[in-house]
């Protein structure tokens, strides 16, 4: 019961933020719509991008596992291999190694990574976590999080939900500021909250 409650809460939180991001972009872009903006919808059959049904050929690239100098080659090879979408986890413990101190440089430059994917004409699926299951230390959760009084990971726990929501909103706001959502002309067509509970 708790597992499903947490899943619903996380899904609701992420959908609200994504929808508000899309609404914000649509309202603020109504006067000045970007020529590359895309409408992403779905029905019972498929994902629809700008009115066209799309079959996604997706592969995962975990940006912190390689250097920024390697990213262009890796992304190019993924495209040559037939992919049209790159999915990546967003590593909370990489971006916030200390509470309130954020890192988006070097191997943690998520914006640069996504812009390189866009430059290659590919879509992006963001897997926001908070927990990631990709042979990564502590499931991608920052170590400082375990010191929060009363916190229980991956449960319907007030402290866990509050910290998770703050983190997810911060990432989504950063993507929105950089115009990386499809509705803003960016490559991000989907987002996923943790499925590993």
The DSSP result for 85-143, as a single string, is EEEEE--HHHH-SBTTB---SGGG-HHHHHHHHHHTT-EEEEEEESS--SS-GGGG--G
| Secondary structure (3-state) at 173 | helix
pTM, two decimal places:
0.82
Residue 88: closest CA among 132, 154, 121: 132
pLDDT above 90: percentage of residues in the chain: 68
Please write the tens of the pLDDT for every residue from 3-42.
Answer: 555 555 555 455 444 544 444 444 444 445 566 789 999 9
From the candidate CATH numbers 3.20.20.80, 2.70.150.10, 3.10.20.740, 3.30.2350.10, the one assigned to the domain spanning 2-193: 3.20.20.80
């Amino acid at each position: 019961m708790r597992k499903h409650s947490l899943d619903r809460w996380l899904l609701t939180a992420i959908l609200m933020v994504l929808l508000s991001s899309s609404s914000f972009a649509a309202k603020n872009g109504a006067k000045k719509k970007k020529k590359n903006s895309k409408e992403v919808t779905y029905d019972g059959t498929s994902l629809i991008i700008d009115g066209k049904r799309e079959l996604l050929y997706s592969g995962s690239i975990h940006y912190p596992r390689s250097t920024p100098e390697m990213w262009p080659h890796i992304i190019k090879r993924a495209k040559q291999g037939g992919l049209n979408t790159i999915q990546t986890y967003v590593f909370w413990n990489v971006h916030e190694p200390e509470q309130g101190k954020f890192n988006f440089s070097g191997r943690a430059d998520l914006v640069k990574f996504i812009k390189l994917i866009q430059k290659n004409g590919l879509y992006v699926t963001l897997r926001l976590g908070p927990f990631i299951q990709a042979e990564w230390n502590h499931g991608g959760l920052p170590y400082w999080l375990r010191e929060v009084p009363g916190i229980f990971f991956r449960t319907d726990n007030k402290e866990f939900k509050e910290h998770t929501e703050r983190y997810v909103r911060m990432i989504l706001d950063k993507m929105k500021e950089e115009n990386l959502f499809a509705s803003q002309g960016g490559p991000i067509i989907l987002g996923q909250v943790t499925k590993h509970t």
